[in-house]
Structure 1
Amino acid sequence: MKRTLYLLHRWLGVVLCLFMAMWFFSGVVMMYVGYPKLTQAERLAALPALDGGRCCASLQQWLRAAGHNGAPTALRLTSVAGRPLALLNYGKADVVALDGASGRRVDSVDAAAALAAARAFMPGVPAAYQDLVAEDAFSHSRNLDGQRPLHRVQMGDAESTRLYVSARTGEVVRDASVNERGWNWVGSWLHWLYPLRGGIVERFWNDIVVYTALAATALSLLGMLVGLWRWRFSGRFRSGSRSPYRAPWMRWHHLLGLVFGTLVVTFIFSGLMSMNPFKVLDSGAPKVAQRHDWDAAHFTLPAGQALQLLADSGFEVRELEWRVVDGAGYYLAADGQGRTRLLAAGAGPALPFKAFGIAAMRALGGAMLAPHQVTQASVLGEYDNYYYGRVAHTMTGGQKRLPVLRLKFDDPHATWLYIDPASGAVVKQVDAHQRVGRWLFSLLHSWDWTPLLASRPWWDLWMIAISVGGMLISVSGIVIGWRRLRMRMPR
């Protein structure tokens, strides 16, 4: 039995140590350079103020032009190339773009329009059109599916920024500097096995990642077991060492495995958990309803008047969103710094306000999982273990708004809801399965434990130490495996 496990560890290592070395190295890169994305702060800062005098067609005109029978799941007014643009979402990848002033449908965006959008996004910067792509190495994200295909425009700024402009809406949806593009070839692109994205293997990518990580987890566990079996806890070998290996690479592989083995196991296993293999972290809990029967009748105040009221209050609107909260319509406005204001969209006079009352949000949230009851309600002025921010370039990066109302329920899934009073939206829903997944993935993989994140550079030193230890184990395994293979090759 032991010999079988020794052999299994040996030959799994020959194949998988390359992957593991790559994961540890690319993980360090990802600590400082993330996969390219356009953050909400970057996007809002680049938009001009919406002018109520130049906008807008009526909501009924927009809905007719969209050509859908049902109501949209979301509606947002933004700008492209200095002109108002209405975006109506009817599903994750079904976005309808309309000229905000005329109500005319935008069916496609050509190269000239993409160039105009890029120049407006980065005014005064030379722009050169490149091409139209469905997807490339820096635009694999599934949240771009409703925007494809994408125009690529190369900007002549100091960062050599590449902008991705949606051919469906004309929005700039991604930016990637030369620094991001260069480091991502040895960062996220490698770490997430993106070389296997696209082409005939695209539909197998998820399975490849899952089973590779599963095999690597088994390899790491076997290595820990074999390392402990081979270590002499009482007495020593003839060499005077407690390790039986005399060859330097074998000896270092054994010793490093004993020191870093547990952390290597948790790192690889947590990477596996990030893929939610075989849906083990899904509880089947339903998502709470957040639309509250969106209907045009909730918005009797025209958007142009809403923009003028907000401007008169001293708030410069860059984007406007239509929201229904507790059966009533509201406009949610955002400025260039990400600050927001709410404005009632129904009949009668209205004044902008910053946030809904906590009592109203408590009553609204408490009814979302009826007949189940709220067991605890808390207003969080600081992040907790499940609602927290990370630096912008990380996978879950970005600051989250505070304060937020947290509601805990007595339903079978032990659901927690986080409700933002500044928008009336449920910004996070976690059940018992997802809370376990947070520790199995986020803590063990990136150590995003709030006290440690607040104690940089200790977080950096800890993560780098884990990664260097894992990389040394993997590299020594590669050398040992290569020598073993050479021995078996025919001369």
Structure 2
Amino acid sequence: MKRAIYLIHRWTGIGMCVLMALWFASGMVMLFVGYPKLTPAERLPPLPALARPGCCIDPGLAIENSRMGAVEALALTSIGGTPYYVLQSATGARTAVDAMTGREHAAVDPAQAVHAASAFAAGAPARYEGSVYEDRWTHARGLNPHRPLHVVELGDAASTRVYVSSTTGQVVLDAPRAERWWNFAGAWLHWLYMLKNQPTDPVWTWTLIALSTVGVFTSVTGIVNGIWRWRFNGRYKSGARTPYRDAAMRWHHMLGLAFGAILCTWVFSGLMSMNPAGIFDAKGVKPEVAAMQGGTPAVLRLPLRVADALVLLAREGFAARELEWRVFDGEPFILARDGANDTRIVRAAGASFTVADTWPEEKLRRAAARVLPYPVASFERLASYDAWYYARDAASMYGADERRLPALRVVFADPSATWVHVDLRTGQLGLCTDRSQRTGRWLFNLLHSWDLPALLAVNWLRIAVLILLSAGGLALTVTATIIACRRLRPARRMQPSAER
């Protein structure tokens, strides 16, 4: 058995050492530079405040003028400095309607893409570079409704590349040159995106699952071998506790004992991130968001003109950059966002209208209880983040997710023990997890990112520890690479004589 475990470690290590070294190196880069994404903090500040005089046509007219079928979402934003209604159907399809003229946006041409990109960068020079359906920076499935994407290079200080939706004309992704270059050594390398050809790619998925599984075997057998060969009592004839005299082997043994567990943990949690065989998929009834809303803006809309809504918000000192028509618990309202992604709710108050920061908690409880056809076990108001509901920095793969406070946690008494988190500021369902998904949170997110709120609160210390451990793991895998090269060298020397 010992011989078998030793051979498994040797040959899987030879096959995996370089890749595992690259995983450690790229993981350190990802602590500081994430995969390109357009966060609310990047998207909203460039938008101009919505002008009050003459803005805008009634949203119902925008719906009528569009070719969209059943409209599920409706927002007023700016595209290229001009106010537009952006409509979304139940299938996720998008279209844009000029909020001044009522004309639906035709297919976005290169000139319009350049104009939108230049407005996004405060008038920076822009150069059209063609269109792509998908490239190395646009694998995210959230971009699917906007494909193909127009590519525009900006002449700003950061040499930013932006991607513009071909359906709405909005900038949907920005990637400064430094971010792109660092990503070659970061997320693009870490996730082996050179092997991925489409947003959903089963070949890429199972390749990563297979490689990670081999990596787990490599690290586990290495730990077992290292413990077997270490003299805890007594020493070898050399006077050392390790039997290896060669420097690379000796350091590999000692580094393996020191950092083998963290190597195993990170490779295993990386494997869990791929959700092999769907083990962390939600198992129960899917939450019904429509039941919580009680209607759509295509049918229920606040009877308030856009200009009047903007005046109400301005009186509260709120400069809206976007308005969203929504329905919550059967009540139509307008959700406004400013340049800092702060929000306000405009809702009816008898015969007039009012601006509020949050929804009444009792209303949220009543609406959220309809998300699943099961009784509610408990409600909990969250005034601070915890191990389940928390925010991440922009470099994280979750950096664009909105996790606002306060929030309402609704625990259902269903077979899958589903938890629903509702944002009190917007009425949006912010997070929904069942028992299997929460297990995945521990086996992937915690083990891979150490993202407990207590650690995130002192993020500099968390990053320093992760870098230290990553450096140890990198040293371990580099010594493995040296040993592997030496092991394979004799075979290369013998090959010519064998041919003769």
Q: TM-score, structure 2 length as denominator?
A: 0.92
Q: Which residue of 2 aligns with 1:378?
A: 380
Q: Shift in Å at residue 346 of structure 1?
A: 9.9
1:371 deviates by 3.4
Distance 2:381 2:482 in 1: 55
Structure 1 residues 428 and 332: CA distance shift in structure 2, 3 A: same
SS of the counterpart of 1:457? helix
Shift of 1:313: 4.3
Equivalent residues in 2 for 1:5-24, closer than 5 Å: 5-24=5-24
1:391 lines up with 2:393 in the alignment = yes
1:213 equivalent in alignment to 2:212: yes
Structure 2, unmatched stretches of 5+, are: none
After TM superposition, give the deviation of residue 444 of structure 1 in Å: 0.8
C-alpha displacement at 1:318, in angstroms? Answer: 0.7
- Equivalent position of 2:88 in the other structure: 89
In structure 2, do the counterparts of structure 1 residues 79 and 21 end up closer, same or farther at CA, with 3 Å as the change threshold? same
Counterpart CA distance in 2 for 1:244 and 1:296 is: 75
- How far has the Cα of 1:91 moved from its partner? 4.5
Q: What is the distance in 1 between the residues matched to 2:31 and 2:60?
A: 47
CA distance in 2 between counterparts of 1:339 and 1:235 reads 65
Deviations along 1:160-213, whole A, 9 cap, x unmatched? 112211122110111111210111110011011111122899551111111111
Bigger drift between 94-103 and 355-364 goes to: 94-103
Q: Distance in 1 between matches of 2:48 and 2:446?
A: 40
Distance 1:92 1:478 in 2: 49
SS of structure 1 residue aligned to 2:429: strand
SS in 2 for 1:45: coil
Q: Is the 8 A contact 2:139 2:198 kept in 1?
A: no
Letter in 1 for 2:180: R
Residue 30 of structure 2 corresponds to residue 30 of structure 1? yes
Q: What letter corresponds to residue 491 of structure 2 in structure 1?
A: R
Structure-2 separation of matches of 1:331 and 1:221: 55
Q: Aligned pair count?
A: 489
Task: Give the Cα–Cα distance (whole angstroms) in 2 for the partners of residues 383 and 189 of structure 1.
Answer: 30
Residue range with higher mean Cα deviation, 470-479 or 184-193: 470-479
Corresponding letter in the other structure for 1:48: P
Tell me the C-alpha RMSD between the 2 structures.
2.2
Residue 420 of structure 1, CA deviation: 1.2
Q: What is the 5 A alignment of 1:155-304?
A: 155-198=154-197, 202-291=201-290, 292-294=294-296, 296-299=298-301, 301-304=303-306
8 A Cα contact 1:298 1:346, kept in partner: no
Determine the structure 2 residue equivalent to 1:439. 442
Per-residue deviation, residues 277-310 of structure 1 (Å, max 9, x unmatched): 1111124123322233325331152552433443
Structure 1's 293 and 436: CA in aligned 2 closer, same or farther, altered over 3 A?
same
CA distance in 1, matches of 2:413, 2:107: 49
Cα gap change, 1:92 to 1:386, in 2 (>3 Å): farther
- Larger mean Cα displacement after TM superposition, 90-99 or 461-470: 90-99
Identity across matched positions, percent: 43
Structure 1 unaligned regions, length at least 5: none
Which is worse superposed, 83-92 or 320-329? 83-92
* CA spacing shift, 1:201–1:63, aligned 2, 3 Å: closer
Letter in 2 for 1:56: C
**1:364-422 CA distances to partner (integer Å, 9 max, x unpaired)?**
223333431233x2221110111111211211125631111122222211222211111
Residues 55/403 of structure 1: CA separation in 2 closer, same or farther (3 Å cut) = same
2:354 aligned residue = 351
Paired with 2:348 and 2:284, the residues of 1 have a C-alpha distance of 33
Change (3 A) 1:90 1:199: closer
**Conservation of the 8 A alpha-carbon contact between 2:223 and 2:261:** yes
Q: 1:325 aligns with which of 317, 323, 328?
A: 328
